[in-house]
């Protein structure tokens, strides 16, 4: 019976070992499952992040192009502004030159030969100017002492188309007025063109700035999206780890309990084996002693007394054996109950 109990404990130990191996395999499977799920989360986030970063890079490239366009626009605006100003100045200078010519035509020095001609001859400019030296007109009448002789200034007719010309004073003044009006018109046109040029430049700058703001907002939104996804992944990883740690802790606790029970069973098995050896040795010794005592009795007393004496000694011996067996049975029942509870 003791040997059967030892075998039962050995069977339980083997079952516990198999249970521990099964739990360890389960734990390894959970580790691999946790690792794979964690890698899937990381891979998913990496793809999302890379796609978002590529989007940000493209948006940043667009911003750089906008900045380049802005610089180009500013440079073009500066050149066009200068061209417009130069064109205006050139036109005004040309008009001023013409105006100066007509001012000179309309100007008459007091006491000059020109004044004498204006006072005494109509359209002297057509008849006399083409053949007269300009410096003569500016000389004083006191020096020249001109006199009117006859109705006409020159008594001959000739072709004057290719000769120099001069306008009358009234015509020169009229031309001055027209040129001054032209200056006003050109100036007004220049101011309007300048205003339009400035407005076009301002509108383009505002448009570029608006596009830049939109792109920056998209970049900020994309960065915020990346951060949200990162927080989401971290939260999922945290929950996944907590779940794994809980499962791991539960499996390790069960393994520890089984190992403790296994150690206890092992010790009890070893105690039983020791007890069996001890009983076996005791029985062997008792048999030797009985054999010796039997021999002594055979030698000293009659057989009936020997039989009675041996019978009594065997009864005492078997009672001791029965008591020990009962104690081991009680211990077996306790252990079996303990195993059932596990």
Is the pLDDT reported for residue 27 higher than 70? Answer: yes
Three-state secondary structure readout of the chain: CHHHHHHHHHHHHHHHHHHHHHHHHHHHHHHHHHHHHHHHHHHHHHHHHHHHHHHHHHHHHHHHHHHHHHHHHHHHHHHHHHHHHHHHHHHHHHHHHHHHHHHHHHCCCCCEHHHHHHHHCCCHHHHCHHHCCHHHHHCEHHHHCCCCCCCCCCCCCCCCCCCCCCCCHHHHHHHHHHHHHHHHHHHHHHHHHHHHHHHHHHHHHHHHHHHHHHHHHHHHHHHHHHHHHHHHHHHHHHHHHHHHHHHHHHHHHHHHHHHHHHHHHHHHHHHHHHHHHHHHHHHHHHHHHHHHHHHHHHHHCCHHHHHHHHHHHHHHHHHHHHHHHHHHHHHHHHHHHHHHHC
pLDDT in tens, 178-188: 999 999 999 99
Question: Distance between CA atoms of 242 and 247, rounded to whole angstroms?
Answer: 9
- pLDDT value at residue 206: 94
- pLDDT value at residue 337: 47
Question: Distance between CA atoms of 258 and 17, rounded to whole angstroms?
Answer: 8
φ/ψ of residue 107, rounded to 5 = -80, 135
Contact by Cβ (8 Å): 124, 118: yes
Q: Kindly state the tokens that stand for 196.
A: 């339009």
Q: What percent of the chain has a predicted confidence (pLDDT) above 90?
A: 30
Q: Please measure the distance between the N-terminal and C-terminal CA atoms of the chain and give it in whole angstroms.
A: 24
Of 217 and 155, the structure prediction assigns the larger pLDDT to 217
Produce one character per residue of 201-237: b if its CB has 16 or more CB atoms within 10 Å, e if not.
beebeeebeeeeeebeebbeebeeebeeeeeebeeeb
Is the pLDDT reported for residue 208 higher than 60? Answer: yes
Beta bridge partners of 112: 140
**Mean per-residue pLDDT, 222-235:** 90
Q: What mean pLDDT, rounded, does the chain reach?
A: 79
C-alpha dist (Å) from residue 237 to 28, 38, 174, 193? 19, 6, 93, 65
Which of 26-40, 188-202, 213-227, 302-316 shows the lowest mean pLDDT across its residues?
302-316
pLDDT in tens, 42-70: 888 888 889 999 999 999 999 999 999 99
- pLDDT value at residue 78: 94
Half-sphere exposure of 235 (CA within 13 A, CB side): 6
Measured from the Cβ of residue 135, the count of other Cβ atoms closer than 10 Å reads 8
pTM assigned to the model: 0.55
- pLDDT value at residue 200: 94
Between the ranges 60-74, 117-131, 293-307, 318-332, where is the mean pLDDT highest? 60-74
- pLDDT value at residue 335: 47
pLDDT in tens, 70-121: 999 999 999 999 999 999 999 999 999 999 888 887 777 888 777 887 778 6
């Amino acid at each position: 019976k003791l040997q059967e109990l030892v075998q039962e404990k050995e069977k339980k130990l083997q079952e516990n070992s198999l249970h521990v191996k099964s739990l360890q395999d389960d734990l390894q499977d959970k580790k691999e499952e946790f690792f794979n799920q964690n890698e899937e989360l990381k891979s998913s986030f990496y793809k999302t992040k890379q796609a978002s970063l590529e989007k940000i890079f493209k948006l940043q490239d667009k911003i750089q192009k906008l900045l380049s366009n802005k610089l180009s626009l500013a440079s073009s605006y500066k050149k066009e502004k200068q061209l417009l100003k130069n064109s205006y100045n050139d036109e005004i200078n040309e008009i001023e030159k013409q105006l100066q010519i007509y001012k000179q035509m309309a100007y008459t020095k007091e006491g000059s030969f020109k004044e004498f001609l204006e006072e005494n001859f109509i359209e002297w400019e057509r008849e006399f100017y083409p053949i007269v030296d300009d410096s003569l007109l500016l000389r004083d009448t006191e020096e020249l002492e001109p006199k009117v002789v006859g109705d006409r200034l020159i008594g001959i007719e000739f072709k004057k188309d290719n000769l120099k010309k001069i306008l009358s004073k009234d015509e020169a003044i009229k031309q001055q007025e027209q040129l001054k009006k032209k200056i006003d018109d050109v100036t007004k046109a220049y101011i309007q063109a300048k205003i339009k040029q400035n407005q076009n430049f301002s509108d383009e700058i505002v448009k570029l700035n608006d596009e830049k703001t939109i792109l920056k907002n998209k970049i900020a939104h994309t960065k915020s999206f990346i951060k949200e996804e990162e927080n989401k992944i971290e939260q999922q990883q945290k929950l996944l780890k907590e779940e794994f740690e809980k499962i791991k802790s539960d499996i390790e606790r069960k393994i520890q309990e089984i190992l403790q029970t296994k150690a206890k069973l092992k010790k009890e098995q070893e105690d039983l084996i020791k007890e069996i050896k001890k009983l076996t040795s005791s029985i062997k010794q008792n048999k030797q002693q009985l054999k010796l005592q039997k021999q002594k009795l055979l030698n000293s007393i009659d057989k009936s007394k020997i039989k009675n004496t041996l019978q009594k000694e065997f009864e005492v011996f078997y009672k001791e054996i029965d008591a020990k067996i009962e104690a081991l049975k009680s211990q077996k029942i306790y252990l079996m109950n303990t195993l059932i509870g596990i």
